[in-house]
Amino acid sequence: MFLSIPPKLSLSDVMQRIKGRSSRRIQMEFPDLRKRYWGRRFWARGYFSTTSGNVTDDIIMQYLELHSAK
């Protein structure tokens, strides 16, 4: 996932929202998963983040396209 986050938002808050909302939507769409993960975490506890520095968005997108699972 390639995100641009305003400096006033913390990365941990953004990730908490993404994981929480996506977990809820997935479990609402697939009720069997809700039963399977009841009382447990849907996503892993952590996440990985890095910055792109002076690399352009186009270069990052090219990298992601070349290295994505096919």
Count of domains in the chain?
1
How does pLDDT run across 17-69, given as a tens digit for each residue? 999 999 989 988 998 888 787 777 888 888 888 777 788 888 888 887 887 65
Note whether residue 57 is domain-resident: yes
> To which residue do tokens 């039963």 refer?
35
> To which residue do tokens 């697939």 refer?
30
Note whether residue 6 is domain-resident: no
Note whether residue 22 is domain-resident: yes
Note whether residue 47 is domain-resident: yes
The pLDDT of residue 70: 53
- Show the domain range for 19: 11-67
Cα torsion at 52, 18, 65, 48 (round to 10°)? 50
Global pTM value? 0.63
Q: For the chain, how many helices (H) and strands (E)?
A: 3, 0
